[in-house]
Amino acid sequence: MCGIAGIIDFSDCRPDEGLLRRMLGLIRHRGPDAFGIYLDNSAGLASTRLSILDLAGGDQPIHNEDQSLWIVYNGEVFNYVELRPELEARGHSFSTNTDTEVLLHLYEEKGAGMLNDLNGQFAVAIWDCRGETLFLARDRMGIRPLFYTQKGNRLIFASEIKALFADPTTQRTLDPVTLSDVFTCWTPTDNRTAFQDIQQLMPGHYAVFSKGQMKISRYWQLSFSQDGHNNDKPISEWTEELKELLHDACRIRLRADVPVGAYLSGGLDSTYISSLVKHSFNNRVSTFSVGFTDGRFDEAFFQKQAVQSIGTDHKMIRCTEKDIGEVFPDIIWFSEAPLLRTAPAPLFQLSGLVRENNFKVVLTGEGADEIFAGYDIFKEDRIRRFWAKQPDSKIRPRLLQRLYPDIFGQKDSRTRAFLEGFFRKGLSRVDSPHYSHMTRWDNTSLLKGFFSAELHHVTSNLEPLADRFDASLPPDFMSWEPLSRAQYIECTLFLSNYLLSSQGDRMAMAHAVEGRYPFLDYRVIEFACRMPPFCRLSGLRDKFILRKAATDLIPPDLAQRPKQPYRAPISRCFFSEAPLPYVDDLLAEESLRKKGYFQADKVTKLIDKIRSRDGRLLSERENMALVGILSTQLLDEMFIKNFPLHSVMEPENVKVYDFSSKT
């Protein structure tokens, strides 16, 4: 794992080594073990390394035999062991034992076609100094980030946006389109980021930049086109195939020259992965978890149950409301996006615990809920479609009680009526491509009522997010089963742009920890896509096939345990007995008016309500509004107003390969 950065300039202006050093300084947290730079008259590549394979000999940039190709690379190609012998047989010689060099020689053989051979999580940049061509690529699901900005013949790219801002000519302005989208569906959409003119290379895509021309192509897309084609296959065969795939996905993700630990939340997914590793590969497994002092969010009981069952060497950190409030500015600095939840903060602390215990790599259960239909939103979609067939039925909406018994079981008939009305909205629009998510999007979009008049004016004329997203869907999307459609939306928006970014890569790499995701092995994903939908969601039983696969490996109580969504405290983290100066400063009316994103008087009323109720009894929407407003204010404060443009600490001991002409 690493952080990468680069400058390609075809305007007869040699890339600036000092700028590359400052870019590395801003992402040194991603890889504090070694630093390297390549320079010629058109290109500058830079790498900050987290050494996991070939600790002594794998520093980047790495070149091929004749130094015509140079690579900087963030990630892991887990099947590099299988790929290398064929390359050696074809005459390629290796100077390291890294997957990085395997990838470089594979590019020599196949060009962009090599991407289909890779099983991994990566963002890669390869410079062809003879052809003066830059090749960029990102893994299928977008586990590793890659951002860029282009001005004519000049392209700057990096693992994190802050590195792009090391260049004083790069504009630093929040994107109103992204603000509107985040305050609708939680994440940026398309290739957008929180900042204008800063794009992300999309998951499953590669780009070629040559002579000022940028050409972007897709090489992989999530697809459920095989829906229902294998309905006659016995469930036992599906189960065994899944076991074999997950076994191999874990096996290759244990490849490292450093110890590999695991996150253990106490839920099905992480418990299954930890158990599989313990029983199949390693008799001594170190696991890590986060608990909460607020019992509403705490899963410590289940974590203890999992640890006792598996027998791991376990470390736990307990997160308080105060902890979350204090680290929240760091969360925004590393996530580089507006947030509607505080959930990344405990994961930031968890990765710190991992690093304190001298681990650089952890396996996680992320991705299982998306590909095996573990979320309530998939069940809501199924119930609403069933209800829509008889919209006047008094019985069918009661199925929602099975999802939310604590709410629908209340004696307060007004609460039940309100929630039934909430899920009734848009009930008959079953032909909408985004039917599964429209209720959530419509509800979240009400947060835009806090936008200032100026921001509202700019965003009110935008093409609706739903229309833009629908236009991007695969041509055969509406022929898929409704469950598969819902899963595609969740994977392409929420998983790739939020979970794997703000809660995944950014929070782990803030402490130089690499997360690895067995459930996001592309073979497991494609397996899940081709199985009959009932194997994923049987009636209202989520992750049906995964629970069957796990039954012989983990305790039944954990294998069949209902999903507990991962969440964290919100309002009381920022308004408690110990005041947080940054909160008071950024949410003061003067600051709100000066930055201009939100209505100061309306935000003040929300803050007064929070203070008067001591943070209790706030609605879900009010909590999201608070985090969204505060995170946006922080983004502006740190990246627009006070970005450390001239005070970046450059790394020492940078190895430089300089092939440029100084004249």
For 494-530, what is each residue's pLDDT tens digit? 999 999 999 999 999 999 999 999 999 999 999 999 9
**Of the listed ranges 23-32, 389-398, 629-638, the one predicted with least confidence:** 389-398
Cα-Cα-Cα-Cα dihedral of 292, 297, 300, 301, to 10°? 140
Higher pLDDT, 231 or 449: 449
Q: What is the pLDDT of residue 611?
A: 87
Count of beta carbons in the 10 Å neighbourhood of residue 175:
17
The Cα 624–Cα 570 span in angstroms is: 8
Residue type at position 661:
S
Would you say residue 257 has pLDDT above 60?
yes
pLDDT at 565: 80
- Is residue 469 helix, strand or coil? helix
CA 660/CA 450 separation, integer angstroms: 52
d(CA 426, CA 437): 11
Interhelix angle 80-89/99-110, nearest 10 degrees? 50
Give the pair of three-digit tokens for residue 442: 């419509």
Residue scoring higher pLDDT (661 or 155): 155
Quick one: 235-372+488-559 is in which CATH superfamily?
Answer: HUPs (3.40.50.620)
Q: Domain-by-domain residue ranges, the chain?
A: 2-175+196-220, 235-372+488-559, 571-641
Residue 294: predicted pLDDT: 86
SS3 call for 110: helix
Q: What is the pLDDT of residue 232?
A: 82
Per the CB < 8 A criterion, the answer to whether 491 and 484 are in contact is no
Provide mean pLDDT across the span 318-336. Answer: 97
2-175+196-220 belongs to CATH 3.40.1390.10: no
In order of 339, 342, 632, 646, the CA distances from 637 in angstroms are: 15, 18, 9, 16
Could you give the dihedral angle defined by the CA atoms of residues 75, 79, 82 and 83, in that order, rounded to the nearest 10 degrees?
-50
* Residues 338 and 635: beta-carbon distance below 8 Å: yes
pLDDT at 575 over 60: yes
pLDDT at 284: 85
Give per-residue pLDDT as tens, 344-359. Answer: 999 999 999 999 999 9
Q: What is the DSSP letter of 492?
A: I
Contact in structure between 188 and 170 (CB atoms under 8 Å): no
**pLDDT tier for residue 40 given thresholds of 50, 70 and 90:** very high
Q: How many CB atoms lie within 10 A of CB 139?
A: 27
The per-residue pLDDT for range 400-458, each reduced to its tens digit, is 888 887 666 655 677 778 788 889 999 999 999 999 999 999 999 999 999 999 999 99
For residue 323, the model assigns a pLDDT of 95
Closest by Cα among 325, 628, 288 to 447:
628
Specify the pLDDT at position 230: 67
Q: Count the alpha carbons within 13 Å of 90 in the hemisphere toward its beta carbon.
A: 11
**Residue-averaged pLDDT of the chain:** 94
The yes-or-no verdict on residue 1 having pLDDT over 80 is no
- For the chain, the farthest-separated pair of C-alpha atoms sits apart, in whole angstroms, at 81
Question: Is 35 strand, coil or helix?
Answer: strand
pLDDT bin (cut points 50, 70, 90) of residue 577 is: confident
Q: Looking at this protein, which amino acid is placed at residue 330? A: D
Query: Using CA atoms, how far apart are residues 27 and 4, in angstroms rounded to an integer?
Result: 8
Q: Above pLDDT 70, what percent of the chain?
A: 97
What band does 247 get if pLDDT is binned at 50, 70 and 90? Answer: very high
DSSP state of 503: I
The count of residues in the chain is 663
The residue type found at 326 is: E
Which pLDDT tens digit goes with each residue over 125-181?
Answer: 999 999 999 999 999 999 999 999 999 999 999 999 999 999 999 999 999 999 999
Instruction: Give the burial string for 578-617 (b: 16+ CB within 10 Å, else e).
Output: eebebbeebbbeebbeebebbbbebbeebbeebeeeebee
pLDDT for 328 beyond 60:
yes
Percent of the chain at pLDDT > 90 equals 85
Does 329 sit behind a cis peptide bond, omega within 30 degrees of 0 on the bond before it? no
| Separation CA 49–CA 46 (nearest Å) | 10
Question: Which whole number is the average pLDDT over 250-264?
Answer: 97
Distance CA 359, CA 261 (A): 7
Residue with tokens 């994103």: 597
Rg of the Cα atoms in the chain = 25
**Rounded alpha-carbon distances, angstroms, from residue 328 to 321, 360, 497, 583, 624:** 11, 23, 19, 10, 14
Assess contact for 26 and 648: CB atoms under 8 A. Answer: yes
Q: Which amino acid is at 647?
A: S
Residue 560 pLDDT grade (very low, low, confident, very high; cuts 50, 70, 90): confident
- pLDDT band of residue 298 (cuts 50, 70, 90) is confident
* CB atoms inside a 10 Å sphere around CB 646: 7
Q: Does pLDDT of 663 surpass 50?
A: no
CA distance 341 to 631: 9
Per-residue pLDDT band at 12 (split at 50, 70, 90): confident
So what's the pLDDT on residue 155? 97
139: left (phi over 0), alpha (psi -120 to 50) or beta: beta
Q: Is the whole-model pTM more than 0.85?
A: yes
